[in-house]
Amino acid sequence: MVGNNNSVSRGNSILDLLPEIERREIFSLGKVICVAAEETIYHFGDPITHLYFPLNSAFSATSLMEDGSSAEVSLTGHEGVIGFFAAFNEQQSARYWISVLTSGEAVKVELANIRHLFAESKKLQSALLASSRNLMCQISQRAVCNGSHSLAERFCFWLLLVHDRAKTDEIVLTHEVIARKLGARRAGITNIAGMLQIAKVIAYNRGTIRIINRWGLEKESCECYAAVQNALAAKE
């Protein structure tokens, strides 16, 4: 493999689509950081100053509602980037609360430093566009899912999304956190997780979920996961 040293090509799909020289430039202008679960990246309304290209971390965009409830809008991992719209448009602000769902690494780059690249690089533009199309597809499907499918199906759909992005079978997540992302009760999640554990699809223990039977999870999920995957595949 060419140029596969450990400062490049660690797994973000957008960066991986770039020519070696551009990818190197982004890595040198930014830096690889570790992000910790629950860490806030942007509060609602914050100006977007940095982009984050997740490697094995997953970022959550969550709506915090007036009554204190919350619901996740989207999940971004190695297939996407945080801050897409700000890349092309000055002075964008965050529309939702952006936080880290599962810890890991990401490439953090100050927008001002790489804005010239967005204007110049066709490859980067089209990679960003593809990823935003993809994100829109995820959000669309979640809109459908939230409106039409059972909590158990939604749970499985969501867990599959997380699993893909965390790149590990051991995912650090409490029922409480999951509930807040799915806009459901903690007790409701406990019930469903319990059933899935009995079915030997997952196992969990005080804040850690282990995916035992990925195929089973896909079977218990609604068609939404497949729809999102199809869109991802079609993109390439």
Least distance from C-beta 219 to a copy of itself, angstroms? 14
57: which residues sit within 8 A by CB, 6+ positions away? 35, 77, 100, 102, 103, 104, 105, 106, 165, 166
Residues facing residue 31 across a β-bridge: 108
Minimum Å gap between C-beta 140 and DNA is 19
CB of 24 to a copy of itself, least distance (A): 26
Number of residues that bind DNA (CB under 7 A): 23
Site string for DNA, 122-161 (x = CB under 7 A): ----------------------------xxx---------
Q: Does 206 bind DNA (CB under 7 A)?
A: yes
Under 8 Å CB-to-CB from 42, ≥6 apart: which residues?
48, 94, 97, 98
Crossing angle between the packed helical segments 151-166 and 186-198, to the nearest 10 degrees: 80
Contacting residues for 19 by C-beta, under 8 A, at least 6 apart:
123
Contact 86, 147 (CB under 8 A): no
Q: Given the structure tokens 């409106």, which residue do they identify?
A: 147
Q: What are phi and psi of 231, to 5 degrees?
A: -65, -40
Give CA–CA dist 92/49, Å, rounded.
9
Nearest distance from C-beta of residue 40 to a copy of itself, angstroms: 18
Kindly write out the interface string for residues 49-68 of this chain, putting x where it contacts a copy of itself by CB under 8 A and - elsewhere.
------------x-x-xx--
Single out the segment in contact with DNA by CB under 7 A; choices: 26-34, 75-83, 136-144, 172-180: 172-180
For residue 112, the minimal CB distance to a copy of itself (Å) is: 19
168 binds a copy of itself, rule: CB under 8 A: no
Which residues from 36-95 bind DNA, rule CB under 7 A? 69
# of chain residues touching a copy of itself (CB under 8 A): 37
Element (H or E) spanning 152, and its range?
Answer: helix 151-166
Of 8, 29, 39, 132, the one binding a copy of itself (CB under 8 A) is: 132
Chain-centroid distance, C-alpha 50: 16
C-alpha triplet 129, 134, 135: angle, nearest 5°? 100
Q: Taking the complex as a whole, how short is the minimal distance between the CB of residue 186 and a copy of itself, in angstroms?
A: 15
Q: Is 73 in the site for a copy of itself (CB under 8 A)?
A: yes
| Under rule CB under 8 A, residue 17 binds a copy of itself | no
Select 78 or 175, whichever has its Cβ closest to DNA: 175
Which parts of this chain interact with DNA (CB under 7 A)? Answer: 69, 150-152, 174-176, 183-188, 190-191, 193-194, 197, 204-208
